[in-house]
Structure 1
Amino acid sequence: MALDFVAGCLGGCAGVIVGHPFDTIKVRLQTQDGSSPKYRGSIDCFKSIIRTEKVQGLFRGMTSPMAGVAVVNAIVFGVYGNAQKQLGDSAWAHGACGLLAGSVQSLVSSPVELAKTRLQVQGQGSSRAYSGPLDCLRQLLRAEGCRGVFRGLGSTVLRDAPAFGVYFASYEQLVRRGTGGPVHLMAAGGLAGVLSWMVSYPCDVVKSRLQVDGMTGPRRYSGFWDCAVKSYRNEGAGVFTRGLNSTLLRAFPTNAAIFTVVTWVFRAFDPSAEADLHPHPHHHHHHPAVHFDPELHLSRVAVLMDFHF
């Protein structure tokens, strides 16, 4: 169990490193003003960041999700595992466990993402408002109290509860229909990540907009629905899919990084796990719900880091 957790955290960190540049592009596109956009699309955004901020611009704000990996991993690991003991091993049970885990971990991921998002969009040099994630949260706490630190919590729950549910249910179904080999597991994780994003992406756009609201002027939105309605009215339905292509592209390289690191950790520290990493296709159904093998744990880690940050 301890090895599962360590593998999850290390895999999660690998996923953050690989996925963060895609995430930065996504956040910049989501939060730009549609009436006078700075970027024409994902490629233009990427080129602009490299040109004006160098490579480090793509990794801005990454320390926040890296710091949150262990805590969020522990919450999802605990909530999902305990719920599965009660609900069993059916597809709907995995979906329900994911929904519950997604809701609970939002309490931690919301402030983590708030700091990440603000650091990703803040200006250069003297216009930088925050020196890092802790400074960002400290300033918000001082200025707005706990409400400031948890800004966007409601939209984070609305995003993560269905997204985690869809991810776990679809991952489980995809794994059971295939060979169970490493490539199949990686593809299943990537595809499940894509499906979960398709379901939750509009909420993610609203969350990002709420979390950066007021950084460069007066606040424009009073809450989730106000932001959604105003965004739609001013920029049309397309605003809710802005940056989606960058996010979907992220799913597969991120899952590949996660899977590689998780597999490496198990092979390095637990030789008996080698067989579990190549399970027989018909054996997956018979894992008792309380047993956390590498393959099952991979699903937990992959949703955390591919979908989550």
Structure 2
Amino acid sequence: MALDFVAGCLGGVAGVLVGHPFDTVKVRLQVQNPEKIIYRGTFHCFQSIIKQESVFGLYKGIGSPMMGLTFINAIVFGVQGNTMRALGQDTPLNQFLAGAAAGAIQCVICCPMELAKTKMQLQGTGEYKSKSKLYRNSPDCLIKIYHKEGIRGVNRGMLATLLRETPAFGFYFLTYDILTRSLGCEPEDNYIIPKLLFAGGMSGITSWLSTYPFDVIKSRIQADGRGGVHKYNGMVDCVRQSYRKEGWRVFTRGLTSTLLRAFPVNAATFASVTLFLMYMRAGEENLEECKAGPTIQ
């Protein structure tokens, strides 16, 4: 239904505005050189960015997710809603399958968008601070990558993105469905908004915890190639090198900022989507009643 897509767009805008600063911190922590540590942790990274680049530094690269995530959320909620209707029964398994299908399909847009976002977030920072800026904005970034590396370059990190998004969105929608049912989220409930915010926030946390190591690998692959030097030959090589140099903890790097971001972002996203759908569907029901005319007793 069209309503699912519109609701997804609104949820995407709300999520980006709330969560992009946390994402900037996460990416910088994930890809910083272990031999030249710049940020000691999540809060130090926040402080350093604001001190050195002002608060606007936290919003570097927001153009790509603002354009992409609104559309991605439209696809995610649209595909999930239509898949659920196609599957017929509203069961936990079908919630997971519908979410996984939505997660896999949106990777076509998500991967290039996150590539541009990562390049923009890292541009002019750390060991590359002295280098001139290569990209004016996110579209310019993707265009230049395409001209240099072709479609393969624009889709760098696609396998890691698929392995992250497919199961993660399955757990995302499954968790939200279980929590909203157990909390009794009904339109007439006076406490529906805090309940939806809690359910959405916890869904986001569960989703990220389920596949976070793949996100670290994706970020490293997409950040690779700065200065024209590529360190990784692929996802497996990235895993091998990262583990050999930094141990297993490397696959949890940036997790704190990610979880801090996940709760408010997904609380805002799911609450916006659910409330919009409730409002619009209630309006449709009222319209149908008006068209039907008065009931004769």
Question: Which residue pairs with 2:34 in the alignment?
Answer: 34
Question: Which residue pairs with 1:54 in the alignment?
Answer: 54
Question: Which residue pairs with 2:116 in the alignment?
Answer: 115
Task: Provide the aligned length of Structure 1 versus Structure 2.
Answer: 274
Q: Is the 8 A contact 2:8 2:74 kept in 1?
A: no
Question: Which residue pairs with 1:246 in the alignment?
Answer: 257
Matched, 1:143 2:148: yes
Q: Is the 8 A contact 2:193 2:271 kept in 1?
A: no
1:161 is aligned, of 161, 166, 188, to 166
Q: In structure 2, how many angstroms separate the alpha carbons of the residues matched to 1:99 and 1:57?
A: 33
Q: Which ranges of 4 or more aligned residues in structure 1 deviate by more than 4 Å? A: 259-267
CA distance 1:271–1:109, shift in 2 (3 Å): closer
Q: Given the two structures, how large is their TM-score scaled by the length of structure 2?
A: 0.86
Q: Which amino acid aligns with 1:177?
A: S
1:204 is aligned, of 215, 218, 229, to 215
Q: Which amino acid aligns with 2:243?
A: Y
Question: Which residue pairs with 1:89 in the alignment?
Answer: 90
Q: Which has the larger radius of gyration?
A: 2
Residue 273 of structure 1 deviates from its aligned partner by 5.5
Q: In structure 2, how many angstroms separate the alpha carbons of the residues matched to 1:51 and 1:214?
A: 28
CA distance 1:159–1:84, shift in 2 (3 Å): same
Q: In structure 1, how many angstroms separate the alpha carbons of the residues matched to 2:175 and 2:98?
A: 13
1:127 is aligned, of 129, 132, 139, to 132
Residue 261 of structure 1 deviates from its aligned partner by 4.4
Structure 2 gap ranges (5+)? 186-191, 286-297
Q: Which amino acid aligns with 1:113?
A: E
Higher relative contact order (CA 8 A, sep 6+): 1
Q: In structure 1, how many angstroms separate the alpha carbons of the residues matched to 2:93 and 2:211?
A: 18
- Deviations along 1:162-219, one digit per CA (max 9) or x if unpaired, are 1001111111111111121221121111111111101111000000000010113410
Structure 1 gap ranges (5+)? 276-309
CA distance 1:35–1:228, shift in 2 (3 Å): same
Matched, 1:257 2:277: no
Percent of residue pairs bearing the same amino acid type: 51
Residue 253 of structure 1 deviates from its aligned partner by 2.0
1:216 is aligned, of 212, 227, 230, to 227
Q: Which amino acid aligns with 2:18?
A: V
Q: Is the 8 A contact 1:79 1:100 kept in 2?
A: yes
- Deviations along 1:82-124, one digit per CA (max 9) or x if unpaired, are 3212322110111111111111110111001100111001106
What is the Cα-based RMSD across aligned positions, in Å? 2.2
Question: Which residue pairs with 1:191 in the alignment?
Answer: 202
1:225 is aligned, of 219, 236, 252, to 236
Q: Is the 8 A contact 1:35 1:235 kept in 2?
A: no
